[in-house]
Amino acid sequence: MEAILSAHEQLASHSNLSLALADVDKTIALLEAARDSVASKPSTAPLALAKLKQPLKASFDRLDDDLKDVNKALKSYERALDKKFKAVALPTASTEVMEEKRLLVLRAIVMHLLREGRFEVADILVKEMNEGGNGTEDWFQELANWQAGDGDTSMVEESQGSQLQAKFTEMYHILSALRNGHDLSPAISWAREHSQDLALRGSNLEFNLARLKFIELYTSEDLMSDSLWEGPMAALEYAREVFPGFGARYGKEVAGLMGSLAFPIGEDADGSPYSSLFGNGTAWEEASSSFTTEFCSLLGLPSTSALYTAVTAGGIALPILSKLSRIIAATRGSWTSVNELPVETPLPAGFQFHSVFVCPVSKEQGTDENPPMLLNCGHVLARESLEAHARGKTRMKCPYCPGESAPRDARRVFI
C-alpha cells in the first residue's frame, strides 16, 4: 500500500489544472474572435482561418505541456494500482438480480441524496430516470405508499415527493443549526411539536435537548455583565419554565441539574459533585445523532442511510467474497445458495440487524418459509420440526421439557 499512497500523493501534488484551464479559456477566446470577424466580414473568412492556424496550434501545444505532469502522475498511480491488484478478480453481480430490486436501489440512492441535503441532485436524478422511460414516473408515490405501509405514518400520510423532500429539508436545517451554530432552538421546537410521538416511542430526545439548553445557559458568559451569577440565574429561570413537565419521568435527573446551581462552575468546578454534567465534549454531536435517529424513526426510516449501510457492509465483505469467487472458479464449483451467503461474513455490531435462529431439533436455520414457532412452555422450534414432531396429534409433548401443548396454539415469533 505504500507505493499506492506515494503515487496518490504525487498525483495530488501535480493535479493543479489552473494553467490548463487558463489556456483553454484563451483558446476559446481566440476562436470566438475569429468567429466574430468572419461573421462581420464573410469575404475575409479564408484569410481569418489562415491567420488562426498557427495561434491555434501554439495554444494546443501549451495545453499539452500543461497536462504533461498531470498525465505522468496519473499513469504512475494507475501502474501502482495495477501492480497491487493485478491478481484480484472482483465478483460481479447478476443484472437480473439488480433488475428485480431496481426500485429498492433507486430508492436507496435518492433517499441518501435527500438525507444529505443534496435536493437538487435528487431532483435531477428522478427527472432523468423519468425521461429515460424507466418506469419511475410514480417513484415518489411508490415510496410514499411503501413508507405509509411499513413505517410510522404519524408524520407521513400518503406523502408526495415534495412533502418528503420538505421533511428532509427541515431535518437538514435543524442539524445544520445544531452542528454548525450550536443553536438548540430549532431542535427544541421540533421536539415539542412531536412530543407525544416521541413519548410513545420512549424517546429521551426532548429532555436531553432541554438539559443541554440548561447547561448552555448555566455556562454562558456575558462579557457586558460583571455578575458571576448571570448564567446560573438564566438557567434557573429556564428550569422553572421547562422542567416541571419532565418531573414525573426524569425526577432524579432534574434534581441533579437543580442541585448543580448551588456549586460554582469553571475553574472551581472540580469540587462540585455535579462537575460531570458540564464536561461532556461530545454533547452536541450526541444531540445531533439522537435527533437524526428520532426524526427518521418518525418517518418510518432507519437512522442511517440504507445506501451507506449497504456499501459499507459490501466493502467489508468484499475480500471474503473475492476469495470465495476465486476458490469456486478454481474448483469449478457453484454457488447454490439463493438467499444466503455460503460463508460467514463478520460485520461490526452496528451492521447486524437480524438475529439468526437455528432450530434446536433440526439444526436448520429459520427462514420465512420455515419460521420459528413458540410453544406454550416457552421453547422455540422451527415450523417444520413442530409439524414433524406433532404428526397430526391434537396435543404434543415438548422435546425439551415435560410440558404439553396443542400444536395449533404455537405462535410465530420474530427474532
pLDDT tier at 202 (50, 70, 90 boundaries)?
confident
C-alpha–C-alpha distance, residues 45 and 387, integer Å: 91
Q: How many CB atoms lie within 10 A of CB 115?
A: 22
Mean pLDDT is lowest, of 31-45, 352-366, 373-387, for 352-366
Q: Is the distance from CB of 117 to CB of 129 less than 8 angstroms?
A: no
Model-wide pTM > 0.75: no
> Between residues 21 and 301, which one has the greater pLDDT?
21
| Domain range summary for the chain, segments of one domain joined by + | 2-85, 149-298, 306-332, 356-415
The predicted pLDDT at position 186 comes to 92
pLDDT tier at 137 (50, 70, 90 boundaries)?
very low
Inform me whether the pLDDT recorded for 27 exceeds 70.
yes
Calculate mean pLDDT across residues 344-357.
74
- Mean pLDDT, the chain, rounded, equals 78
Q: Is 208 helix (H, G, I), strand (E, B) or coil?
A: helix
Nearest to 152 by CA among 306, 293, 299, 303: 299
H/E stretch holding 412 reads: strand 411-412
pLDDT tier at 267 (50, 70, 90 boundaries)?
very low
Q: Is the distance from CB of 106 to CB of 156 less than 8 angstroms?
A: no
Calculate mean pLDDT across residues 141-155.
43
**CATH code assigned to 356-415:** 3.30.40.10
C-alpha–C-alpha distance, residues 329 and 332, integer Å: 5
Q: How many CB atoms lie within 10 A of CB 187?
A: 25
Where would I find the beta strands (DSSP E) of 179-248? none
C-alpha–C-alpha distance, residues 292 and 175, integer Å: 8
pLDDT digits (tens, 9 = 90+) for 54-96: 888 898 888 888 888 888 888 887 888 777 766 545 445 555 5
Q: In sequence order, which ranges of 44-115 are alpha helices (DSSP H)?
A: 45-85, 95-100, 102-115
The predicted pLDDT at position 187 comes to 93
User: Order of strands across the sheet with 372-374?
Assistant: 380-382, 372-374, 411-412
Calculate mean pLDDT across residues 387-414.
85
C-alpha–C-alpha distance, residues 389 and 385, integer Å: 6
Calculate mean pLDDT across residues 392-415.
84
The predicted pLDDT at position 223 comes to 41
294, 298, 299, 305 alpha-carbon torsion, rounded to 10°:
20
